[in-house]
Every structure is written in structure tokens, then in C-alpha cells.
Amino acid sequence: MTIRPMVAIRNVDKTFGSYQALDGVSLDVMPGEVTCLIGASGSGKTTLLRSVNQLHPIDAGAIWLDGELLGKRQVGQHLHLLSDREIARQRRATGMVFQRFNLFPHMTAVQNIMEGPIQVQGRPAREVRAEAMDLLARVGLADKAGNYPSELSGGQQQRVAIARALAMKPKLMLFDEPTSALDPELVGEVLAVMQELARSGMTMMVVTHELGFAREVADTVVYMDAGRIVERGAPAQVLADPREERTRNFISKVLK
């Protein structure tokens, strides 16, 4: 039996004015797999992630999530753009964690996690609160439920942000440099939560410069440059024995 990709990206282009951010990108992410995207700033990694989450409408190509075409509906031989409401419905299948935590400053940690399921999914507060407390325990913050973001460290805020994304019960988790805004001593606690997520079978796409994390956790590492996928493969191949000179040059600079 053939397993369908959780994410199927085909020939995707994206431009911003005259700048080609994505150039014919095709990629599959299988259910339960972790795909780490690496490359220099401006290589297209974040644009690809945001395109999967429909924060950037693509100019050409197509993206499917769990078999559903994103952003468009096919009727016969024609494609019709979905409404904002339909796109919002599709977006609920993904959870995205950004570089900045974007927590509501006037809400406690548990309230931040509860907001989406109550307001977007219309679920009862008592049920949602119990799940939010379980998620806080999962990210090691059960004792911080009543704390406001200003009372939490950067690492703790990012862990709350991960719990908030998980509260929507996504099929796919997207991480855009989730540790880049953190002090070095706080990076490990966030990566540990992500490692636990990977072990639990969550499908993940991760933009990262943490090559050690990619080596340990990723099923596939993708190196991007100038909006294109230059090389992809198992971490042991791409990170330890890359075939492409551009990949070798990038990795040597990161490891200096």
C-alpha cells in the first residue's frame, strides 16, 4: 500500500517584486517525519514554510496537505481560489511556531493556550483548560500556568507558544527558527520539547541553523540556496558527506 505524503509540494514559485524567493521547489514530507530546512538567510526556507501555512500565496505550482489541495479548489479542468474563510479552515490543520513568541501579553500561559480552541474551534472552556494544563505539563511548565509572558524567560515563552500551537490538534507542525531569538543557555530546553514531539510521531518541518538538532532528530535534511533545493537526504549524508559543493561550503561556515 502506498503511503500518501502529509505534505506534497510541486513546482512552487514565489516572487516578491523582482525577487525570486522560491524557484520550482518540489518536496514530500511523509507522515510522522521530521524535515529540517537549512541554508543561508534569504535562501527561501522561511518563504517555503509560510507558503505551506498559506501566509504567502504562491505564484505557481501546488501544495497539498494530507491530500487536500491548499488555497484552491479544482472544478473540472479549472482551479478556483478559496475564500479567506476556507483558507482559515485549512490553516487550522497546521501549527506554526515563529522566531518571536507572539503570546498575548495580557493573558496567562494557560489562557494563551486556551484562546484558539475556544474562540476558533468553539470548544467548552472546562475541556480546553484540562487539555491546556496537560500541554503545559508536556512542555515542562505545569507550574507556570498562571504566569504572564513578562514573568517567563524566552525559552519558557517559546515552550508556551509550542503548547499553544499543539492545542489546535494540528496534523503538521511548522517551526521557523524557533531558537534564534533565545539566549544560548535557553536553546536546549526548546529543542528538548521538539525532540519529544518528534518521538511522539508529529510531522514537522523545521527551519533551523541548529545542525546538531537536525543530525539527531531529522529524517530528511534539505539544503536550500537561492530559492531552490540544492540537496536533500538523510542527515548522515547531507550533513556529514554532502554531494554538492554549495552544501559543503555552507556547512563548513556554520560549523566554524
- The pLDDT score that the predictor gives to residue 101 is 83
What does the alpha-carbon distance between residue 69 and residue 94 come to, in Å, rounded to a whole number? 14
Output the pLDDT for position 159: 96
Q: Which of 55, 90, 88, 56 is closest to 172 using CA atoms?
A: 90
Contacts of 219 (CB under 8 A, 6+ apart): 30, 33, 34, 35, 234
Pick the last residue of a domain from 126, 146, 169. 169
Q: Which domain holds residue 164?
A: 103-169
Cα–Cα nearest to 146, from 127, 129, 162, 131: 129
Q: Is residue 98 part of a domain?
A: no
144 and 113 in a single domain? The answer is: yes
Tell me: do 61 and 152 sit in the same domain: no
In a shared domain, residues 89 and 11: yes
Domain total in the chain: 2
The domain boundary residue, chosen from 111, 143, 169 = 169
β-strands 220-225, 34-38 pairing? parallel
Read off the pTM: 0.94
Same domain, 181 and 162: no
Residues 62, 29 share a domain? yes
Residues of the chain with pLDDT under 50: none
Residue 59 sits in a domain whose CATH number is 3.40.50.300
Q: Are residues 185 and 204 in the same domain?
A: yes
Residue 102 is predicted with a pLDDT of 87
Strand partners for 45: none
